[in-house]
Amino acid sequence: MKKEINKLALKILKGSGIYREYSDKDLMDATLIFIEVFMTKMHDHHKEKLSQKQLERLAEEAGKSIRQTILLFTGVDMHKVLQIKLWRINLLKLLLNMMTRN
């Protein structure tokens, strides 16, 4: 996983300064990767000092803060994007299920 993230980061850096169009879904996908790494690093940094319950509260507050920051600076509500993404996944599952029944 580390090599894939590094390759992606280097590819993005090589194109730095080039304007690209990104969809709300692209932002959601990139944010999910960021949150995975961020939450792991946050947990590692605080695990010796905080209880599990405190870590959970900290993670919840961090998630809210990230969501609010994205909404403030981009106008994209990640909850809405995630709901649309989950709706599409469920629709695809339903369609595949219907196709395999025949």
For 39-72, the pLDDT digits (tens) are 999 999 999 999 999 999 999 999 999 999 999 9
So what's the pLDDT on residue 13?
A: 84
Note whether residue 64 is domain-resident.
yes
What value does the mean pLDDT of the chain take? 87
Backbone φ and ψ of 21, nearest 5°: -90, 130
Sequence-separated (6 or more) residues with CB below 8 Å from residue 22:
30
Note whether residue 42 is domain-resident.
yes
Rounded to two decimals, the pTM is: 0.72
Note whether residue 6 is domain-resident.
no
The domain tally of the chain equals: 1
**Residue 102 above 70 pLDDT?**
no
Note whether residue 76 is domain-resident.
yes
Contact 26, 73 (CB under 8 A): no
Note whether residue 32 is domain-resident.
yes
Mean pLDDT of the region 20-46: 92
Contact 89, 39 (CB under 8 A): no
- For residue 39, give its domain range: 23-101
